[in-house]
Structure 1
Amino acid sequence: MKNLFPLCLIVFLAFRPLISSATINSVLNQNEPTHYNLVLIVADDLGYGDLGFTGSTQIKTPHIDKLAASGVTFTQGYVSSAVCSPSRAGFITGINQVEFGHDNNLGGVEPGFDPEYNGLPLTQQTIADHLNKLGYVNGLIGKWHLGKEPQFHPLKRGFDEFWGYTGGGHDYFEALPNGTGYKEPLESNFKTPAPITYITDDVGNESVDFITRHKDDPFFLFAAFNAPHTPMQALEEDLVLYQNIADKKRRTYAAMVHRLDLNVGKIMQSLEDQGLKENTLVVFISDNGGPTDSNASNNAPYRGQKGILLEGGIHVPFVMNLPSLLPKGLTYDEQVTSLDIVPTFLALAGDTETPMDMFTGVDLIPHLTEKTAPLANREMTWKFTISRAIREGDWKLVSIPDRLPLLYNLAEDPSEENDLALKNIDKTSYLLKKLGIWDVNLPHPVFLEGAVWKKRQLGLYDHNYQVTQPEVK
């Protein structure tokens, strides 16, 4: 055996002229991935403080916690809107959605507005449109909420496969053939949907099926869960686990988050079973903060909730996991946004044609691997119906119609309990002017939600919010 190596070396050298450099490089680099797969897991109306890794002492989420512990967690992760549809319009295009008129939440068509425009504007490309050009198979499992008219359908917005519903929410146990609203029928272009078992499980199972069917292709999976959005419906076996929680709505919510966690684990196990985990970028995020008044979520330590631009409405759990490339267990403390997802995905997919400066967001990979400096003192702006906000460094200003601007130093006051606007007039004036100039350059919204929501959103700024974890008994 000791004499074989010299013989092999002689044979290799003798025939070296017949072997191309490309072949040698191929052999040397055989462990490098031919492509990266992309998975975006989105929870719906999840409270910031309701996961183990974000501080929950009441709800157990071991699978999501494991995803965070083995990947990168963002302590200052934001979405671009405080409600479902505009937030999704932002993270599916990589562009702040108000810059193309998708300011409001999608509902019915208001008088004077054209239903042909009641969805994600056709002028915008989705992440699936971009990835199509790179040979990816794109699948959406679950919630769409970017337009119900035929021209807005996900299969016309770059997705190859769709199993789910086009509205903003769904019953967890039932879909009716002629149903509307939360009981609209499920649809699919690759199978006849079976009756719902429990929709969180069904989204998880269909996601696993997508991975299994496309394990040999570069794929993008958008797993858009309904949980823990209303209606408040949980499985009895999960409710038993949280029977110690006296408040019925909170108990149901905890059970729904538990079931979400199990299905995130199911997706991760599928990637591992198929040998894809190392080279698959998995992003986990919530589309906005928890609506504490309607689903009993907890956004601790942040004040506010879904629908408003205090931290509780836009500061969300945010994880990226890619074992072969990203650091394991990294806590990243600079500001990032869901608008960064598209440019990050495209760069990882090898897109060299799309101009990255068209996006509001940036490719995060170089910042997370220390090839580029951290994203310090990043400026972010938000607008949602009656509310506007700007963050620059540690300072955040919120402007709403019925009072003076609100100014907070988030480094000292992450819960936004101490308004410093009058004590820092120069900073207030500076940020308000910057925000106003940005605002007046935005286009008109292409559709509006009902006016009744404006009054409701204003009132949410005056609610009392729990900024600590619930007491565990």
Structure 2
Amino acid sequence: MQFVRFIQTLVIAAAFLPSVYSDEASRPNVIVVITDDQGYGDVAFTGNPAIKTPTIDKLCSQGTLLTNFHVDPTCAPTRSALMSGRYSDRVGVWHTVQGRNMLRRRETTMANVFGDNGYATGLFGKWHLGDCYPYRPEDRGFQHCVYHKAGGVGQAPDYWGNDYFDDTYVVNGKHQRFEGFCTDVWFNEGMKFIKANKDKPFFAYISTNAPHSPYYCPEEYTQPYEGNPQVSITEFYGMITNVDDNIAKLIKMLDDEGIADNTILVFMTDNGTAGGLKDGRGFDGGMRGMKNSEYDGGHRVPFIIRWPGGKIEAGKSIDRLTAHIDVLPTFIELCDLEAPAIDFDGRSIASLLHTDGNDWPERTLVVESQRVVDPIKWRKSAVMDDRWRLVNGEELYDLNADPKQATDLAAQHPAELDRLRDEYDKFWNDVSTEHDLTSYMVIGSEHSPIVSLSSHDWLIDKLPPWNQGHIQNGDVAEESFWAIEVERDGDYEISLRRWPVEADKGINDGTYGKAFNYKQARLRIGDVDETQDIPTGAKEVTFKVTLKKGVTKLAPVFIGPDLTATPYYAYVTHQPKADWQTPQGMGIPVYDPSYGRVPPQVNN
């Protein structure tokens, strides 16, 4: 068994073979529902005695379940591998922040492939592969997008004050206020998209931020779990049941519209559980580890695929090793899509879905949880085959006999240890050749007249202030920078802020959190190094500069008597107009703390 990269011959051949579908409209629709931080044990059909997921349980009986399906131990890396069919380490996404969550612009995405084959493509919910051009979902093949920014609602790039209820999200590049709980919004918008495109093939990617923290949830979903000693966190369980109810609505809509038979419906999650285990409560799915763990509990997740009209067997389980990198190659084969010759790390599992799998070859796969600026060999890694797990290059577990990975067999099986170490070496020697590449956020493009930057994407050698709570508290008030590519020579304006533009507060204002005492603003980018005084009460400071094309660092600071630190927010334009740096100039509604409902957990 050895690690190899597959150039899928089906992809190359597709350009020369006639389609099995008589016309474009007969190709199957595809829906992927992926939840955030929900583990293998956070559904009833895997044995959880307390959680209520009747729709997902029924979906499992109607489709095929992959019982040995793996993703990365955290969210952005998983999503990059899912979208590309290639290892997250290869496509530049080995973290969730620090500029290492941006899918390299050279990568072909699942949305690109579907869109190029005549599909309508839509994203609803979480993207987490870049918030600036050219990494936004609308830049990566999604024709219709309704999403929150960053890795979760309420993180630093997201609209200020978003809290899961009656939030403001991005709709095709513009901010729009919504009524309702976030998960309900994602499904409702996804179903609108499906109905609007039911007469042509569509690809709908419904990517919920639930049940990711903060644990805010409608009380109608938390009340059934209150007082149950088997429940880890009532809101976590409640959010999952809310997802389940929304999947029921989705399935009913597919039935009502008469498109269920020709729709591939996938349910999966993005990493191991985050809130499913607490103080001895909850269900571990029979595994060791949680989110961010190199043990199976961190990366083995449920994957269900249903296609009534596509001969995918109902009630079937597949226990062969599969992974997120297999999904795009599989869709290409199942939907008979033409695609460029992508050097996939995954392979199509169509033969596993349609046969007994006896001819499925042995394979070795790797998942990691790096979460650093520059990857480190062996860090939080798992090398896997159908039977064995090599953890961190040192621990060896026989999953057939020891699914909870309690007994390290490295000393007893040195040959297996050496074999899997060799496989990791092949993996590392391959993917590490481009670890020094940086994904630069582009300014000066006609595709993004104004670029919004936040501390979430600072290239600092520690966790940056990635959450709005960090911004409120004034955390990590230090010097850092953004990695920038200037697309064209020319004149630019750069606006520096302590609060995001929609908060509409002064640089030294303390209404929403810690007040600073900054006196000056200094801009450093390329050959530019300029300083301005900060007027009393100023909400921002704008610099007018001339920049040359190329990659550079944007490294501004606010300067006070006792502190010099990089602003949490910066805005850049190459098309300045009067008041462009205001909420009105950017077309963003000013944050209103009185707007919408407050999560019931906050009131309590």
Scaled by the length of structure 2, what TM-score is found? 0.63
Instruction: State the match for 1:399 in structure 2.
Output: 392
In structure 2, how many angstroms separate the alpha carbons of the residues matched to 1:118 and 1:381?
Answer: 19
Say which of 106, 117, 120 aligns to 1:123.
106
Instruction: State the match for 1:364 in structure 2.
Output: 349
Instruction: State the match for 2:35 in structure 1.
Output: 43
- CA apart distance, 1:46: 0.2
In structure 2, how many angstroms separate the alpha carbons of the residues matched to 1:44 and 1:374?
Answer: 34
Corresponding residue SS for 2:309: coil
Instruction: State the match for 2:295 in structure 1.
Output: 310
Distance 1:188 1:176, change over 3 A: same
Q: Deviations over 1:179-215 (max 9, x none)?
A: 5898984110298734341111111111111111111
In structure 1, how many angstroms separate the alpha carbons of the residues matched to 2:241 and 2:419?
Answer: 44
2:262 is aligned with what amino acid?
Answer: N
Instruction: State the match for 1:424 in structure 2.
Output: 413
Instruction: State the match for 2:89 in structure 1.
Output: 98
Instruction: State the match for 1:267 in structure 2.
Output: 250
Equivalent positions of 1:99-248 (< 5 A) are 99-105=90-96, 107-109=97-99, 119-170=102-153, 178-179=160-161, 185-189=168-172, 193-246=176-229
Contact in 2 for aligned 1:230/1:294 (Cα 8 Å): no
Contact in 1 for aligned 2:266/2:304 (Cα 8 Å): yes
Equivalent positions of 1:77-92 (< 5 A) are 77-79=69-71, 81-92=72-83
Corresponding residue SS for 2:261: helix
Instruction: State the match for 1:412 in structure 2.
Output: 401
1:366 is aligned with what amino acid?
Answer: S
Q: Deviations over 1:400-423 (max 9, x none)?
A: 6xxxx0100011111111111111
1:435 equivalenced with 2:421 (yes/no): no
Q: Deviations over 1:158-187 (max 9, x none)?
A: 000000112101159xx9864589898411
Runs of at least 5 residues in structure 1 that lack an aligned partner in the other structure: 1-28, 110-116, 454-473
Corresponding residue SS for 1:299: coil
In structure 2, how many angstroms separate the alpha carbons of the residues matched to 1:86 and 1:170?
Answer: 18
In structure 1, how many angstroms separate the alpha carbons of the residues matched to 2:199 and 2:25?
Answer: 12
Q: Deviations over 1:257-302 (max 9, x none)?
A: 1111111111111111111111111111100011248888643211
- CA apart distance, 1:306: 0.9
Contact in 2 for aligned 1:341/1:363 (Cα 8 Å): yes
Corresponding residue SS for 1:389: strand
Q: Identical aligned pairs, as a percentage?
A: 29
Instruction: State the match for 1:324 in structure 2.
Output: 309
2:64 is aligned with what amino acid?
Answer: V
In structure 1, how many angstroms separate the alpha carbons of the residues matched to 2:233 and 2:159?
Answer: 31
Corresponding residue SS for 1:186: strand
In structure 1, how many angstroms separate the alpha carbons of the residues matched to 2:423 and 2:140?
Answer: 34
In structure 2, how many angstroms separate the alpha carbons of the residues matched to 1:344 and 1:311?
Answer: 23
Corresponding residue SS for 2:272: coil
Runs of at least 5 residues in structure 2 that lack an aligned partner in the other structure: 1-20, 371-378, 439-456, 464-604
In structure 2, how many angstroms separate the alpha carbons of the residues matched to 1:329 and 1:313?
Answer: 25
Q: Deviations over 1:415-453 (max 9, x none)?
A: 111111111122212211321232133231646987557
In structure 2, how many angstroms separate the alpha carbons of the residues matched to 1:141 and 1:234?
Answer: 19
Instruction: State the match for 1:387 in structure 2.
Output: 380
Q: Which moved more, 1:216-225 or 1:323-332?
A: 323-332
2:330 is aligned with what amino acid?
Answer: T
In structure 2, how many angstroms separate the alpha carbons of the residues matched to 1:281 and 1:247?
Answer: 34
In structure 2, how many angstroms separate the alpha carbons of the residues matched to 1:398 and 1:209?
Answer: 44
Contact in 2 for aligned 1:290/1:298 (Cα 8 Å): no
In structure 2, how many angstroms separate the alpha carbons of the residues matched to 1:32 and 1:374?
Answer: 32
CA RMSD of aligned residues (A): 2.9
1:78 is aligned with what amino acid?
Answer: H
In structure 2, how many angstroms separate the alpha carbons of the residues matched to 1:328 and 1:93?
Answer: 28
In structure 1, how many angstroms separate the alpha carbons of the residues matched to 2:276 and 2:436?
Answer: 27
Between Structure 1 and Structure 2, the one with more helix by share is: 1
Corresponding residue SS for 1:339: helix
1:159 is aligned with what amino acid?
Answer: F
- CA apart distance, 1:250: 1.5
Instruction: State the match for 1:299 in structure 2.
Output: 284
Q: Which moved more, 1:118-127 or 1:215-224?
A: 118-127
Q: Deviations over 1:26-56 (max 9, x none)?
A: xxx9999811000010010002111111111
Contact in 2 for aligned 1:141/1:207 (Cα 8 Å): yes
2:42 is aligned with what amino acid?
Answer: D
Distance 1:298 1:122, change over 3 A: farther
Corresponding residue SS for 1:229: coil
Q: Which has the higher contact order (CA 8 A, sep 6+)?
A: 1
Contact in 1 for aligned 2:363/2:385 (Cα 8 Å): yes
In structure 1, how many angstroms separate the alpha carbons of the residues matched to 2:366 and 2:159?
Answer: 42
2:340 is aligned with what amino acid?
Answer: T
Equivalent positions of 1:324-343 (< 5 A) are 324-325=309-310, 326-343=312-329
Contact in 2 for aligned 1:98/1:445 (Cα 8 Å): no
In structure 2, how many angstroms separate the alpha carbons of the residues matched to 1:180 and 1:52?
Answer: 31
In structure 2, how many angstroms separate the alpha carbons of the residues matched to 1:214 and 1:32?
Answer: 13
Distance 1:204 1:374, change over 3 A: farther
Q: Which moved more, 1:148-157 or 1:438-447?
A: 438-447
Distance 1:171 1:55, change over 3 A: farther
1:378 is aligned with what amino acid?
Answer: R
Corresponding residue SS for 1:99: coil
